[in-house]
Chain A
Amino acid sequence: MNYVIEMLNIRKEFPGIVANDNITLQVKQGEIHALLGENGAGKSTLMNVLFGLYQPEKGEIKVRGESVKITDPNVANRLGIGMVHQHFMLVDKFTVTENIILGSEPIKKGTVDIKKAEKEVERLSELYGLRVDPKARIRDISVGMQQRVEILKTLYRGAEILIFDEPTAVLTPQEIKELIEIMRALIREGKSIILITHKLKEIMQVCDRCTVIRKGEGIGTVDVADTNPNELASLMVGREVTFSTEKQPAQPKDVTLAIQDLNVKDARQVDMVKSLNLEVKAGEIVGLAGVDGNGQSELIEAITGLRKADSGDIRLNGKSITNLTPRKVTEAGISHIPQDRHRFGLVLDFPIGENMVLQTYHHEPFSKKGVLRYKEIYQKAKSLIEEYDVRTPSVYTKARALSGGNQQKAIIGREVDRSPDLIIAAQPTRGLDVGAIEFIHKKLIEERDKGRAVLLLSFELDEIMNLSDRIAVMFDGSIVAEVKPEETTEQELGLLMAGSKQQKAGGQ
């Protein structure tokens, strides 16, 4: 069999845990091979072993049939292994070309031969259909294009085997389509791809074979043609998984959140939210659909007090909360599951226990007369961690050490536990595996059924369609349409999101 990469019986331990145990991954020349597993299952560890960042305790790695020892990423590069990281490793202020050649610059008479480099970048980008502007600066280009720069970086260094680490997590539906085309073009040119993901749809769409790992153990490899999403999901999670979340029809009550004529500017003083009107009632989930960058973030920041509204009125239960401080908004009864959990949701260097009282530390019983009561804090944290199935060695572990899914479950536990009137969930399942997604969806519906209002921002149409009782489509700063999920299709939503179709007056 013509394997280009073979990782045989790999075992990798960290103090206290076995991250990889007896995992075998064999990638054929010219295939797209999926590596599927929940968050914290050990996918990244395995790939870091392949990329030379970790040394395995046991096992053998073969590249093109030859046994190799990959001691650091440079060795991996020389063997033709390239990694497209989930979090891009680009220099903001450099141009596309400068980023691509960084570390292996063509030199002419002691200076960088930028002309030659640009030509090479253009050649590569044409060959693989990777549209980029070689002279543009990274900070000026879209996330999708930044990812193409990452891919070009590996190709420039002569990669034959490309590892994609959750590449679609940050992309819009359109960009995902383009990425899939790019991956197919790469295969046509004789490259091999390992795709780390937990999105079953993508695996079914582009992959040839799929290796599943669960809790650090290799479960097996299947041909994608012979399987279906349900089977893959149960292989990954180890039990049956329901996909479309079960829920009763909503029973909306009074208006909880009412936004009228809201205008918000971003940091560059550009109007991002324009005369926006929106209502969310108690007992319903309103999905905010839209392509990233159409003012959704600014809208949420304005509601939660993180950004000043220019004009307009935001009311919670009839009382104006426009331009109150974040603390006053929180205490008025709003919980916020932020889009960027590392930047806003957690203090990563605090123990997870202390993160659980981030908004409530100054209230009893967590403190008294300004003195913290750690016993109460950690007691609360322990009960939340249990209730929300946050997997952590202990409540004293730094939040940084937890996997993304567990960090998110901790945030959701903290936000929901405050019994708010309105929950704002911004991309609550971004980057999470099906097990965690199922859990979070169930929790949000539970809260809805308790009579809370939920405003859900998501770029995943599946999630919007599945969870919302009502969908508000946001385009260019305003709500351009309101539809019911059972009366629309993903195609129609896509068109509305692109602004190419305006809803006729009177709905539908």
Chain B
Amino acid sequence: MFSNRLVNILIPTISVFLGLLVGAFIMLGFGYNPLTGYLSLWEGAFGDSYFFGETLRQVTPYILSGLAVAFAFRTGLFNIGVEGQVIMGWLASVWVGLAIDAPMIIHLPLVIIAAALAGAAWGFLPGLLKAKLGVHEVIVTIMMNYIALYTSNALVRNIISDGQDRTDRIPETASLTSEWLAALTQYSRLHYGLLIALFAAAIMWFILNQTTRGYELRSVGFNQDASRYAGMNVGRNIILSMVISGAFAGLAGAMEGIGTFGYQSVKGGFTNIGFDGIAVALLGGNAAIGVVLAALLFGTLKVGALNMPTGAGVPTELVDIVIAMIIFFVASSYMIRWFLLKMKKEGK
């Protein structure tokens, strides 16, 4: 009745649907009308071109942080440190943007590369520790997140600015903002970063599926013993995977640093871009195209939610619950898979 490919598409779709359904019940339970609630969410995300622009802007870093998590996953690693790598990428893009004076054609690529390198460096260390000493990457990357957060705060306050809470704005030559895109969307903050994110998704697909390096990375992800037997250097592949994953995360940070905001500020807490990336990767099945679609959904929910309090009087906290529900159903997709297989059996 269902082919495997269909099952793989059905599972996230059903997960999302169930999440929305449970969210509707919760809204009902709190005395809100779920229909007007979801309607204003839709309005808030796609209602006019400004909202649509903001949605796409929000989708951009999600694509990259989702790719970062997914890439590591495919090599059998759980990179929880995407959050920290995002912060470092953000910081590096702004810092290099401020420190250097150059024409855009040099400045902009330089800033983007700096962000990727900073994220990559932040991924390299846990990769090295895992490959050489067998230290579990989850523990190291969690700690690296805190180091990133407070390093960034200290640098912003004491080195990059004069005791301020945020840096100066980066010059136009280092910025991804686009007059044209902004004008097109009633002056939303949409920027060229979306193109970078989509390009990165294509890169991930290409590396993993089309290159010998990707063949090794996938092989190591599935079976380290067989990879060693076949002559692959398992440790080197683990490090490389974390470095590439970190580079994607660093780019996600640059999207905020030189795209949306144009500065780095002292942060009271995590950006959550990296943590949301875990959910995006999970929902997207760790595949490039899946990540893009999942990021689209997350961005929509995030931005659309902003309209729910004004549009329907539903508090934003409820939207967070709906998102949590969707993640819950994705994480327990085993349940849905089991159910589908059962139907498949009995449907014959």
13 A-B pairs with C-beta separation under 8 A: A55-B345, A306-B228, A326-B229, A327-B231, A343-B225, A343-B226, A344-B226, A346-B223, A346-B226, A347-B223, A349-B222, A367-B211, A372-B215
Assess whether A371 is in contact with B231, with CB atoms less than 8 Å apart.
no
Q: Is A362 an interface residue (CB 8 A)?
A: yes
| Shortest distance between the CB of A353 and any CB in chain B (Å) | 12
Assess whether B226 is in contact with A361, with CB atoms less than 8 Å apart.
no
User: What does DSSP make chain B's interface, helix, strand, loop or mixed?
Assistant: helix
A350 to B231 alpha-carbon distance, docked (Å): 17
Assess whether A345 is in contact with B226, with CB atoms less than 8 Å apart.
yes
- Knowing A350-B219, A372-B212 are in contact, say whether A330-B227 is a contact too (CB < 8 A): no
A354 to B345 alpha-carbon distance, docked (Å): 30
CB neighbours (8 Å) of A304 from chain B are: 229
Q: Is B230 an interface residue (CB 8 A)?
A: yes
- Knowing A325-B231, A346-B226, A347-B226 are in contact, say whether A358-B210 is a contact too (CB < 8 A): no
Assess whether A362 is in contact with B225, with CB atoms less than 8 Å apart.
no
Q: Is A420 an interface residue (CB 8 A)?
A: no
CB neighbours (8 Å) of B211 from chain A are: 367, 370-372
Assess whether B222 is in contact with A347, with CB atoms less than 8 Å apart.
yes
Assess whether A354 is in contact with B212, with CB atoms less than 8 Å apart.
no
7 tightest A-B CB contacts, nearest first? A327-B231, A358-B230, A344-B229, A349-B222, A326-B231, A367-B212, A347-B223
| Shortest distance between the CB of A422 and any CB in chain B (Å) | 16
A454 to B232 alpha-carbon distance, docked (Å): 24
- Knowing A338-B229, A354-B215, A358-B230 are in contact, say whether A371-B210 is a contact too (CB < 8 A): yes
CB nearest to A304 among chain B residues: B229
Assess whether B230 is in contact with A359, with CB atoms less than 8 Å apart.
yes
A507 to B213 alpha-carbon distance, docked (Å): 52
Assess whether B229 is in contact with A362, with CB atoms less than 8 Å apart.
no
Q: Give the residue of A327, A348, A361 whose beta carbon is less than 8 angstroms from that of B223.
A: A348
Q: Give the residue of B210, B219, B231 whose beta carbon is less than 8 angstroms from that of A347.
A: B219
Q: Is A448 an interface residue (CB 8 A)?
A: no
Q: Is B218 an interface residue (CB 8 A)?
A: yes
Q: Is A336 an interface residue (CB 8 A)?
A: yes
CB nearest to A349 among chain B residues: B222
CB nearest to B227 among chain A residues: A347
CB neighbours (8 Å) of A338 from chain B are: 229
A305 to B210 alpha-carbon distance, docked (Å): 29
| Shortest distance between the CB of B84 and any CB in chain A (Å) | 30
Assess whether A361 is in contact with B228, with CB atoms less than 8 Å apart.
no
CB neighbours (8 Å) of A328 from chain B are: 231
CB neighbours (8 Å) of A344 from chain B are: 225-226, 229
A326 to B222 alpha-carbon distance, docked (Å): 19
Which residue, B213, B229, B232, has most C-beta atoms of chain A within 10 A? B229
| Shortest distance between the CB of A273 and any CB in chain B (Å) | 19
| Shortest distance between the CB of B76 and any CB in chain A (Å) | 11
Interface string of A362-393 (1 = CB under 8 A from B): 10000100111000000000000000000000
